[in-house]
Amino acid sequence: MIENIRELLKAHEGLRREVYLDIENSSIIPKEVVDTMLPYFNQHAYGNPTLTHKPGWEAYEAIMKASQEIAMFSGCKTLEEVNFTPGETEANNLALMGTAFSMTGEGKKIVISEIEPLSVLHVANLLQKHGFTVVKVPVNEEGLINLEKLRETVDKETILVSLSTVNHEIGTIEPVKEALEIVKDKNPKTIFHTDASDAYGKTAFNMKDLNVDLATISSYKILGPRGTAALCVKEGVTIKRIIEGQIGTQKLWPGIENTPLIVGFAKASELAFHNFEENVNHMRRLRDKLIDGVTAKISDVKLNGPENDRRAPDNVNISFLKCEGEALTIELSLNGVYVSSGSACTRRLLQPSHVLVAIGRKFALAHGSILMKVTRYHTEEDVDYVLEVILKAVGRIRGIVGSVEVDSHV
């Protein structure tokens, strides 16, 4: 296996250009973020923030400052509403299990959409084994939740509803505000959680405006460091922690806080929200150019998810008939274009994405999908190169040059 990887890496030598679009799975960290983190490894604030000495006080101050900044950007009322976790998966686990364990006597019903990330879906399935009832509300072919089905499902036994603000795979911007109103109208005690990791820093997501009870936001989804995220818990909402250990500044997640990563998360947030409208418009232009270029020049393709304003500004998910997604991913990589095949959570299991299945994609289309996400740092020239490479890669894999209409101007 190692030798195979080495051979593949060797094949990448001398690439004309490299364009990284696999932001779903990891991200390039901007120099400003790295430079902000470095001093917190060895110069100052390297101490345990709960200890009473200078390095500890410096670490505590750094974490509180980062909490305050992230609270401001996410629309939290106070910095105490921001609870750092090691990642989005842990934050979603905390949201679901923390709610389930704190709502004893209120009911045993949990409602999620069919296309929630696996860190929500798998936890819901686990809770089902512990006596909870889980109902998965269907979505339409664009991934939008069926609000009438949601209305029919929520009742006095419902303790939690979880609906992502933006779907991580197909970019659908869900009607969270309308869903919340329906849920609270049916049962004011129901806790409403949203995984906003793909909305934070890219859409108009705001805790205060949406008035959700719990929201997950992620660092690496906004080009921050991996290994940190946050669960925003609205003031007055109580959930239980799900792990035990030394209590530090984070009451819901015990352990020694990772100060450098938390500081990096705050810096990444600052950069994401600086010139926010300009950044979003730039990503939207590149997204549309990429979608239009592929759909106009290649036959037998299907855009997964909605179009225009109902879609996240960075998301491009396209299925290619007669073209296996893993093969296309490798072919693109050998030419310096890095994307993901389907969902990062399922691709190594060789199973079609549950999101694509839920929106009605047949096996061939689901397996022939690739996911690309643009950032504020990508350029028009990057997209031109990506289109050039995709056109050739699809033609090579399909093995029929005539099945791809190559335009020399792309």
116-152 pLDDT tens trace:
999 999 999 999 999 999 999 999 999 999 999 999 9
Mean pLDDT across 316-320: 97
Which residue ranges make up each domain of the chain?
Answer: 2-21+276-396, 32-273
Residue among 76, 232, 323, 345 flagged as catalytic = 345
Mean pLDDT across 236-249: 92
pLDDT at 9: 61
pLDDT tens profile 66-78 = 999 999 999 999 9
Pick from 287, 256, 295, 231: nearest CA to 92:
231
pLDDT tens profile 186-211 = 999 999 999 999 999 999 999 999 99
Active-site residue, 323 included: no
Could you please state the CATH topology (level 3) that the domain comprising 32-273 is classified under.
Aspartate Aminotransferase; domain 2 (3.40.640)
pLDDT at 346: 47
pLDDT tens profile 330-358 = 999 999 999 998 644 444 556 789 999 99
Q: What is the CATH number of domain 2-21+276-396?
A: 3.90.1150.10
Kindly indicate the confidence band of residue 364, based on its pLDDT and cuts at 50, 70 and 90.
confident
Per the prediction, the chain carries an average pLDDT of 92
pLDDT at 351: 75
What is the percent of the chain with per-residue pLDDT over 90, rounded to a whole number?
80
pLDDT at 401: 39
Mean pLDDT across 372-382: 98
pLDDT at 56: 87
